């Protein structure tokens, strides 16, 4: 479907009929608006979904909002239902919870998750939808995409029973990864962040927060998810002999200085990247991205993950909300956009 014409600024949007949709677009670096366009009829193998809520994946969407996707990554960073191109105009996002209003008989009326941008109504193939378990509330379901990233990271990092694991960066992805790895028998986890106010959410997740200065060294695995070069330096500094530092942060077009001098080579450290776009090779013959996302939704039956839900705002206010959140992508946790 196309939502690439007939624009309206957010403040000018009024009532929208069932034959129209409204979508959030980044029109240029640092600028955005809500566009209203016709909504096509669904085909037999498609479904019409009415959005209940979407969520902002702050790290990546902040880079998209500011135009920091490097040209070499334009294709790799496309989300499943993106329209337009970087740096803009572009419709971007991948966290949507809604109801199937029209479609195949076995899908009609179902509550679903879709890797779709911020939009109130949309038509997609039914195989792009995943049913949300009854035990998972809407807001918790919005964590599925970030939890999928954390799952992929743990597959890449391969923590083992009894390991000492450090997670640098108490954002959504870092805390999801820390919560999962803490469930491995015998594993001791320390979460490291420069923001002491993150102690409360860590406590709700059953995790302990420490500052970079107070972090213990000798970790078997260090997961870096702070999005900061200083955080990466901390991660390298606390890794044990022959340990792995797993990089979950993405920096867009920004250059990052990494300290590979001192004892980096003497300690025989491994600096390993992880990216959710591909299932790790050792699992790829058995796992699809759809199966991995379904696993994330199943894991979200645990109410402990409610600790990661942040603020709320209306869809009509999304241009102003995105500008505010993108100005400080390390602040608020999972922000919910409501379509009431």
Q: 109-134 in b/e burial notation, b at 16+ Cβ within 10 A?
A: ebbbbbbbbbbbbbbbebebbbebee
Burial class of residue 8 (count of CB atoms within 10 Å of its CB; 0-12, 13-18, 19+)? middle
Q: Which of 30, 124, 34, 131 is nearest to 79 (CA)?
A: 124
pLDDT of residue 4: 39
pLDDT of residue 193: 97
Give the DSSP letter string of 281-331. TTTTTT--HHHHHHHHHHHTTSGGGGGGEEEEEEGGGHHHHHHHHHT-TTS
With tokens 């990494």, the residue in question is 258
When pLDDT is averaged across residues 172-200 and rounded to a whole number, the result is 97
Angle between helices 144-157 and 172-181 (to 10 degrees): 60
pLDDT of residue 14: 35
The predicted-structure confidence for 289-320, as pLDDT tens digits, reads as follows 999 999 999 999 999 999 999 999 999 999 99
pLDDT of residue 40: 85
Read off the pTM: 0.92
pLDDT of residue 161: 98
Beta strands in 19-176 (DSSP E): 20-28, 31-38, 46-56, 83-84, 90-91, 96-102, 111-114, 121-125, 129-131, 164-168
Q: Is the dihedral of CA 7, 13, 16, 22 positive or negative?
A: positive
Q: Do the beta carbons of residue 222 and residue 177 sit within 8 Å?
A: no
The C-alpha atoms of residue 255 and residue 127 are separated, in whole angstroms, by 38
pLDDT of residue 328: 80
pLDDT of residue 2: 41
Instruction: pLDDT band for 105, please (50, 70, 90 cuts).
Output: confident
Angle between helices 58-65 and 318-326 (to 10 degrees): 100
The predicted-structure confidence for 45-100, as pLDDT tens digits, reads as follows 999 999 999 999 988 999 999 999 999 999 999 999 999 999 999 999 999 999 99
Domains of the chain: 10-143+300-338 (3.90.180.10), 148-273 (3.40.50.720)
Please name the residues in contact with 270: beta carbons below 8 A apart, sequence gap of 6 or more: 242, 243, 244, 245
pLDDT of residue 330: 67
Strands 209-210 and 188-192: parallel
The C-alpha atoms of residue 247 and residue 269 are separated, in whole angstroms, by 13
When pLDDT is averaged across residues 277-296 and rounded to a whole number, the result is 96
pLDDT of residue 17: 46
> On the CB side of 8, how many CA atoms lie within 13 Å of its CA?
16
When pLDDT is averaged across residues 93-113 and rounded to a whole number, the result is 93
């Amino acid at each position: 479907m196309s939502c690439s014409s007939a624009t309206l600024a957010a403040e000018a949007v009024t009532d929208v009929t069932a034959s129209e949709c409204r979508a959030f677009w980044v029109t240029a670096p640092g600028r955005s608006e809500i566009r209203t366009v016709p909504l096509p009829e669904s085909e037999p193998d498609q479904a019409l979904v009415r959005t209940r809520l979407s969520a902002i994946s702050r790290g990546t969407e902040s880079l998209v909002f500011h135009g920091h996707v490097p040209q070499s990554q334009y294709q790799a960073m496309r989300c499943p239902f993106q329209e337009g191109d970087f740096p803009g105009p572009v419709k971007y996002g991948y966290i949507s919870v809604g109801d199937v209003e029209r479609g195949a008989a076995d899908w009609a009326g179902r509550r679903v998750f879709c890797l779709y941008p911020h939009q109130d109504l949309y038509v997609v193939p039914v195989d792009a939808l995943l049913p949300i378990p009854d035990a998972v509330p809407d807001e918790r379901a919005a964590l599925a995409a970030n939890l999928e990233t954390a799952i992929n990271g743990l597959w890449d990092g391969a923590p083992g029973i009894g390991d000492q694991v450090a997670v640098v960066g108490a954002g959504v992805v870092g805390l999801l990864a820390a919560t999962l790895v803490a469930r491995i028998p015998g594993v001791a986890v320390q979460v490291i962040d420069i923001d002491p106010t993150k102690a409360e959410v860590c406590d709700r997740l059953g995790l302990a927060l420490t500052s970079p200065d107070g972090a213990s060294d000798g970790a078997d695995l260090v997961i870096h998810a702070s999005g900061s070069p200083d955080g990466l330096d901390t991660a390298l500094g606390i890794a044990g002999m022959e340990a792995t530092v797993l990089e979950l942060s993405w920096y867009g077009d920004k250059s990052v200085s990494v300290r590979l001098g001192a004892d980096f080579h003497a300690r025989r450290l491994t600096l390993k990247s992880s990216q959710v776009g591909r299932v790790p090779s050792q699992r790829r013959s058995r796992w699809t991205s759809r199966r991995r996302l379904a696993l994330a939704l199943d894991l979200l039956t645990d109410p402990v993950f409610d600790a990661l839900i942040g603020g709320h705002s209306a869809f009509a206010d999304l241009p102003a909300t995105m500008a505010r959140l993108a100005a400080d992508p390390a602040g608020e946790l999972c922000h919910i956009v409501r379509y009431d």
